[in-house]
Amino acid sequence: METNCYENRELSWLRFNERVLEEAVTPENPLCEQMSFLSIFQSNLDEFFMVRVGTLYDRMLLPEEIRDSKMNMTCEEQLAAIFRETRKMSERKDAVYRDIRNKMAREGVSIFDFKDLTLEEGEYLRKYFDSEVKPLLSPQIIGKKQPFPFLKNKEIYAVVVLEKKGSEKMGIVPCTDGILPQLVALPGEPRRFMLMKELILHFVPDIFERYEIRSKSLIRIIRSADIFPEEEEMDYRRVMERMVRTRRRLQPVKLEYSRLMDPAVLTELCHYLGLSRDQIFYSEAPLDLSFLSEIRDVLHERRELFYPRRVPQIPPEFAGADSMIRLVQEKDRLLAYPFESIDPFLNLLREAADDPRVASIKISLYRVASNSEIAKSLIRASENGKEVLVVVELRARFDEQNNIEWSRRLEEAGCRILYGLDYMKVHSKLCLITMKEEGEIRTITQIGTGNYNEKTSKLYTDLSLMTADPEIGRDANQVFAALCMDQVVEDTKYLMVAPTCLQSRILEKIDGQIEISRNGGHGYVGVKINSLADKVILDKFIEASQAGVQIELIVRGICCLIPGIPGLTENITIRSIVGRYLEHSRIYIFGDEVYISSADFMSRNTKRRVEVAAPVRDEDVRRRIRRMFDVIMRDNVKARIRHADGSYVRAVAEEPYVNSQEVFFEEAYLESGRLPGK
């Protein structure tokens, strides 16, 4: 099959992060929100290098050559392309930061360089450095008896070239210790700041008083975080704790530096850190942009510099309800976050924890809030004598420590804890409440597209379906029964469950639409996901397009398919929404059938994880989800349309303007009888 309708996964992700960076200069976004998008761009890129670039380097160590399945690129070719694109994006990031810094100054907040200061301000900072900063620093000179120190992931160091009696040495000063503030307020008018790292770098000659400073710069390294535990060990939680500690010491994959640095010094740093020159990136912008959150705090009273206030609403059907169990037994219920509150689901769990009819609660946890009300309800249920089974996925990347702590607390309360499967992650969002009522076993099943996390329910768009459908309940019980036996469910009747019966069912559903089109009908597939990279599904989409099936794809991030190519993907449209809230819900539509799911269309989700997709069998709920999908397809404010050349171009903004996220919030407020912002 032709490769010109595919794109490499890693390069597609970089395109997504470029769309995030564009939001930092979008005029319609208030200034403080532009700051957030710039910070998100940097944190996204950091994680990409830690995980994806780290993975590519690991694969290069394997004896066999590994190529990507879409573009047939080797790991070396992918890394070279990543570094080229990252260098271009770094230049754009610098320009965005300059723009935001100028806008900040117009709003009365200034970040100063030393060249801009008066003599009095410079003297004030010298005294401040001598009394408040210098005593907390731990400088080191590199020499024969002073080995090169371990540089921590994402932390900033001042690097200086020192000369004494004709010989040169390198000096290093850690600039991030958790004690020093990121911003130093200047005397006089408020909201005038100097970055702490720049302060340390400026006064670094005072640290190395016996040397002449030949050059100085700030550096920041990113280390690989792509590590896998030795899963055959018995105490899996201990293995994960060791993995978290090990991650802090892994191989560097990227070096960023500010100020122009002597090439010989860069060569020496590369030698010490095991980096190639391709892995070194110059930055005019500060190496750590997290200080922008402090600037946002300074401006918190300027509400016009932020998005208008939005609060998740309680839908009328749940308002004042004395029993969530009864409501769900009456009819399937749907919550759409963040437009609607997670509280009705929390109330369902609280009620189940205390209801004497409830015999058991089974749930799969991937990422939970640090102060999780969901976990507290599970603890309460266990203390009330109910069987509580909690599948805790300790391998939720970068959330391992929080999951470890909650697993301890749940276990101490008497909950039965499973740490997923030895050989794959459990990523499903599934909760099963089983009760005995009037001599019959009844169930309530909740299936979600997002994590059981109260914090992210206010930041991510997700769907949560609650149903008393006994057939869905039986399938959900099969899933948990298999997990308890350290197995995956082989087959289910209604739920699609990866790794064994999700991808194959999706292909069958698409085949059904292909058959409709070939018989002269209107075949249709609509999918909303975060990522599209599963080669098997990509090829099936191409086959469906060639058969005349209309395919509408809403893919927020990675998208390895290019639409609109004659003879291949001409019946496929692709759009991406990057807006105020992180688009996270997964919706599959095949003709009249609607599913919601935890799974993206990536092989790791469809074949190497436990994921669940649930049919929406209630007509009202199905109609509502179809309408939500249609509204997103009409978004002409935050949508970007993918073209046949692979580029993403903003939708033409014309009346009526449709910002889908704002539409859903306005509707939630209207139904609750409140006004936005109240």
Cβ neighbours of 550 (radius 10 Å)? 16
d(CA 255, CA 655): 46
The structure tokens 């010490």 sit at 272
Cβ neighbours of 320 (radius 10 Å)? 6
Beta strands of 556-638 (E only): which ranges? 572-577, 582-583, 586-590, 593-597, 609-615
372 contacts 381 by C-beta, under 8 angstroms: no
> Phi then psi for 277, rounded to 5 degrees?
-65, -25
Q: Tokens representing 32?
A: 């403080």
Catalytic residue among 202, 300, 427, 522: 427
d(CA 461, CA 173): 43
Q: Tokens representing 634?
A: 């009409």
Three-state DSSP string of 403-467: HHHHHHHHHHCCCEEECCCCCCEECCCEEEEEEEECCEEEEEEEEECCCCCCCHHHCEEEEEEEE
CA distances from 570 to 142, 524, 547, 565, 672 (A): 60, 14, 10, 5, 42
The 8-class DSSP code of residue 139 comes to -
**Coil/strand/helix, residue 147:** coil
d(CA 532, CA 12): 10
d(CA 529, CA 599): 8
Q: Which pairs count as long-range contacts for 155-158, CB under 8 Å and 24+ apart, including other chains?
A: 155/220, 156/197, 156/218, 156/219, 156/220, 156/287, 156/288, 157/218, 157/219, 157/220, 158/197, 158/200, 158/201, 158/204, 158/216, 158/217, 158/218
- What residues contact residue 93 under an 8 Å CB cut-off, 6+ apart? 21, 38, 41, 42, 283, 285
> Phi then psi for 249, rounded to 5 degrees?
-120, 15
- What residues contact residue 547 under an 8 Å CB cut-off, 6+ apart? 514, 517, 518, 523
The 8-class DSSP code of residue 491 comes to -
The structure tokens 């802090």 sit at 248
Query: Does the CA dihedral 662-664-667-671 come out positive or negative?
Result: negative
643 is catalytic: no
Q: Biggest alpha carbon distance in the chain?
A: 93
CA distances from 526 to 77, 572, 593, 629 (A): 34, 10, 10, 8
367 contacts 426 by C-beta, under 8 angstroms: no
- What residues contact residue 422 under an 8 Å CB cut-off, 6+ apart? 231, 232, 486
d(CA 287, CA 368): 30
Q: What amino acid positions are annotated as catalytic residues? A: 427
